[in-house]
């Protein structure tokens, strides 16, 4: 779909028209590949820390999308047609953005023009997120945690787009402007664009939730001490940008916020399309886990699992640590005390009830609390550590095993230089974290092998079950 763009230096008129207050700040095009940003127009100190006020009605939140819909029948039709989807902040905002794009592309025929229809013109035409990378570029991600995350994201975007078509094809104007083979211009690329705009620009605004805030969303990211400002909601519900305590800025300094210092390299690349050059560690990554096919309780376990099937690996001080409630379902079975019963509730519906040694488990995340109280806890923990270590090893093999084919690809002219650099940076950072985690799991395993409970278990049970392998 056609989208008109305007240089960000022309945003000043929009700012005045919409009562956004800039105090010693302006938007500008930056050097390098960071697009637009905010810079100071004068010296600023914490004596006068308020940098920007964006009126409440301009904050693009779930609530405000539905307020806009009251006076925009086209927007309302699509929101209503998509049901629960548009009752979430992301769903409502994506549809709202799509309507603004449609408004621009149809010369104002569809939807009611509002401040966002114009503001959208100041956003970059290309959002550099991996959902836009071509096939060759995606191959460089083999063995990184972004490989699976990106595949899952593309599948889910595809499902959303198909569903949007199913739900709106019966609306005349949607059929004409979006879906019709001759007159319709909406493509999957447009859907990826609204998703990328939202993902790279939405903030978690205190007291409002996930929202896009025009003008504050022009602030680029800098972590740690380099962050110069923060955002919040004032007493009147306006979004404000405030200078950080202890920061004094000279004229023409860039104003930056943090997109989340705790976010790992994979998440930064996935959501914002960059990794800071100064980053020394991948910080965290998520690896998927599957219940083996030979697990007799596989189906029941999958049915009761309430958490993502995998684990988060993260840097903790000088060492690595991990987090997962799913893993415990892989570590215990019927012979240990895990059981499932099919119960009939009062409505006649059947429900699967899990229990641990006759104690009902209503929330599967509490299974680990029961296991830690069990005399065999050290054995269960050893099983968990062994499983996690072998998953880390599998990931390392995929990462290291793909080095040659990735090296060959690097001379491929289809691969953008910036993408090549950043994907290689991710590969390196994740390899370091995985190697460190593998070594830490090894240490933990050695400690657990010293446990009398494990020793006794190995002495007796292993003779009965030679399949059990802690190597």
Ligand X SMILES: C[S@@+](CC[C@H](N)C(=O)[O-])C[C@H]1O[C@@H](n2cnc3c(N)ncnc32)[C@H](O)[C@@H]1O
Evaluate whether 419 touches 137 at the Cβ level (below 8 Å).
Answer: yes
Backbone angles phi, psi at 44, to 5 degrees: -130, 135
How many other C-beta atoms lie within 10 A of the C-beta of residue 31? 6
Among the listed ranges 32-40, 83-91, 246-254, 315-323, the one in contact with ligand X (CB under 6 A) is: 32-40
Query: How remote is the C-alpha of 100 from its chain's centroid?
Result: 24
Q: Stretches 137-145, 218-226, 300-308, 398-406: which one binds ligand X (CB under 6 A)? A: 218-226
Q: Under a CB-based contact definition with an 8 Å cutoff, are residues 263 and 283 in contact? A: yes
Among 160, 190, 217, 430, binds ligand X (CB under 6 A): 217
Q: Given candidates 59, 93, 101, 218, which one binds ligand X under the rule CB under 6 A?
A: 218
Strands 36-40 and 254-257: antiparallel
Q: Given strand 338-344, what is the order of strands in its sheet?
A: 338-344, 350-356, 359-361
Which region among 18-26, 165-173, 216-224, 342-350 touches ligand X (by CB under 6 A)?
216-224
**Nearest distance in Å: CB 63, ligand X:** 21
Q: Which residue is nearest to ligand X (CB)?
A: 35
Residues in 63-102 that interact with ligand X by CB under 6 A = none
Stretch in the footprint of ligand X (CB under 6 A) among 35-43, 145-153, 335-343, 438-446:
35-43
Q: Is residue 34 part of the contact set for ligand X (CB under 6 A)?
A: yes
Angle (nearest 5°) at CA 208 between 202 and 210: 25
What is the Cα–Cα distance from 297 to 191, expressed in whole angstroms? 40
Residue 200 makes contact with ligand X by CB under 6 A:
yes
Please give the Cα distance from 6 to 48 (Å, whole number).
31
Residue number, 218 or 370, with CB nearest to ligand X? 218
**7 or 401: CB nearest ligand X:** 7
Q: Does 324 bind ligand X (CB under 6 A)?
A: no
Q: How far is the CB of 34 from ligand X (least distance, A)?
A: 4
CB of 140 to ligand X, least distance (A): 19
Q: How far is the CB of 279 from ligand X (least distance, A)?
A: 10
- The binding track of 152-191 with respect to ligand X, each residue x by CB under 6 A or -, is ----------------------------------------
- Among 35, 55, 260, 310, which residue interacts with ligand X (rule: CB under 6 A)? 35
Of the candidate residues 221, 301, 383, 444, the single one contacting ligand X (CB under 6 A): 221
HEC per residue, 54-117: ECHHHCECHHHHHHHHHCCHHHHHHHHHCHHHHHCHHHHHHHHHHHHHHHHHCCCCCCCCCHHH
Q: How many CB atoms lie within 10 A of CB 85?
A: 17
Interface with ligand X includes 214 (CB under 6 A)? no
- Contact residue for ligand X among 20, 22, 26, 36 (CB under 6 A): 36
For residues 460 and 466, is the Cβ–Cβ distance under 8 A?
no
Distance CA 117, CA 113 (A): 6
Mask for 95-134, x = binds ligand X (CB under 6 A): ----------------------------xx---x------
Contacts by 262-267, CB closer than 8 A, 24 or more apart:
264/314, 265/425, 265/426, 265/429, 265/430, 266/144, 266/145, 266/146, 266/149, 266/426, 266/430
Query: What b/e string do you get for 133-148 counting C-beta neighbours within 10 Å, with b at 16 or more?
Result: beebbbbbbbbbbbbe
Residues 334-353 that bind ligand X (CB under 6 A): none
7 binds ligand X (CB under 6 A): no
Nearer to ligand X, 143 or 214 (CB): 214
Site for ligand X, rule CB under 6 A: 34-37, 123-124, 128, 200-201, 217-218, 220-222, 272-274, 276
């Amino acid at each position: 779909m056609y989208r008109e763009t305007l240089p960000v230096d022309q945003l000043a008129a929009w700012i005045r028209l919409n009562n956004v207050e800039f105090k010693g700040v302006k938007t500008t095009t930056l050097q390098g590949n960071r697009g637009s940003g905010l810079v100071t127009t004068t010296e600023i100190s914490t004596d006068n820390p308020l940098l920007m006020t964006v009126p409440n009605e301009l904050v693009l939140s779930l609530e405000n999308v539905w307020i806009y819909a009251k006076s925009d029948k086209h927007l309302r039709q699509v929101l209503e047609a998509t049901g629960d989807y548009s009752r979430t902040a992301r769903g409502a905002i994506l549809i709202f953005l799509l309507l603004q794009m449609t408004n621009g592309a149809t010369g104002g025929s569809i939807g009611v023009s509002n401040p966002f229809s114009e503001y959208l013109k100041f956003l970059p035409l290309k959002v550099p997120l991996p959902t836009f990378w071509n096939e060759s570029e995606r191959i460089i991600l083999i063995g990184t945690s972004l490989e699976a995350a990106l595949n899952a994201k593309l599948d889910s975007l595809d499902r959303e787009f198909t569903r949007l078509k199913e739900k709106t094809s019966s609306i005349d104007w949607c059929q004409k402007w979006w879906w019709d083979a001759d007159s319709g211009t909406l493509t999957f690329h447009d859907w990826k664009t609204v998703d990328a705009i939202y993902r790279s620009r939405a903030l978690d605004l205190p007291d409002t939730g996930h929202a896009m805030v025009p003008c504050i969303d022009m602030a680029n990211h800098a972590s740690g001490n380099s962050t110069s400002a923060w955002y919040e909601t004032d007493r009147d519900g306006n979004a404000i940008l405030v200078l950080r305590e202890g920061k004094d800025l000279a004229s023409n300094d860039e104003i930056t916020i943090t997109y989340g210092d705790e976010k790992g390299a994979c998440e930064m690349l996935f959501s914002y399309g960059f990794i800071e050059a100064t980053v020394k560690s991948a910080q965290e990554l998520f690896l998927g886990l599957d219940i083996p096919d030979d697990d007799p309780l596989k189906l029941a376990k999958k049915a009761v699992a309430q958490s993502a099937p995998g684990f988060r690996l993260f840097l903790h001080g000088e060492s690595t640590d991990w987090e997962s409630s799913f893993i415990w379902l892989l570590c215990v079975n019927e012979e240990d005390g895990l059981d499932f019963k099919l119960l009939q509730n009062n409505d006649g519906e059947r429900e699967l009830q899990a229990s641990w040694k006759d104690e009902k488990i209503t929330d599967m995340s509490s299974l680990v609390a029961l296991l830690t109280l069990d005399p065999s806890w050290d054995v269960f923990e050893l099983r968990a550590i062994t499983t996690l270590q072998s998953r880390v090893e599998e990931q390392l093999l995929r990462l290291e095993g793909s080095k040659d084919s990735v090296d060959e690809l690097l001379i491929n002219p289809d691969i953008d230089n910036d993408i090549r650099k950043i994907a290689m940076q991710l590969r390196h950072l994740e390899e370091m974290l995985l190697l460190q985690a593998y070594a830490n799991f090894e240490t933990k395993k050695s400690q657990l092998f010293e446990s009398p409970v494990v020793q006794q278990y190995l002495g007796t049970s292993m003779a009965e079950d030679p399949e059990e392998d802690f190597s």
